[in-house]
Amino acid sequence: MHLFKTSEKYFKVDPWLVVEEGFDPAKARLAESIFSVANEFMCVRGYFEESYSGDHLLGSYFSQLYDMMDIK
């Protein structure tokens, strides 16, 4: 899936909001990326809290965590 090469608009254009009207399972990863919540230290992807059996990518990311502890 190469969404960056399409000219199709999936999100509604609004100057202050990101609006997803409906849900397209084929574009779930795109929506997860757009609806991520982050600051300079932590990011949480906008995935379903409930179990979703379709294509998705769970993830929470922490800045410089790899520098602060040994991984064994």
Domain ranges of the chain: 3-68
Interval 39-63 mean pLDDT: 71
Q: Higher pLDDT residue, 57 or 22?
A: 22
pTM for the whole structure: 0.54
The CA angle 33-13-19, to the nearest 5 degrees, is: 50
45, 57 contact by CB (below 8 A): yes
Q: Higher pLDDT residue, 42 or 68?
A: 42
Cβ-based neighbour number of residue 33 at 10 Å: 14
**pLDDT on residue 53:** 67
In the chain, what is the straight-line distance between the N-terminal and C-terminal CA atoms, in Å?
34
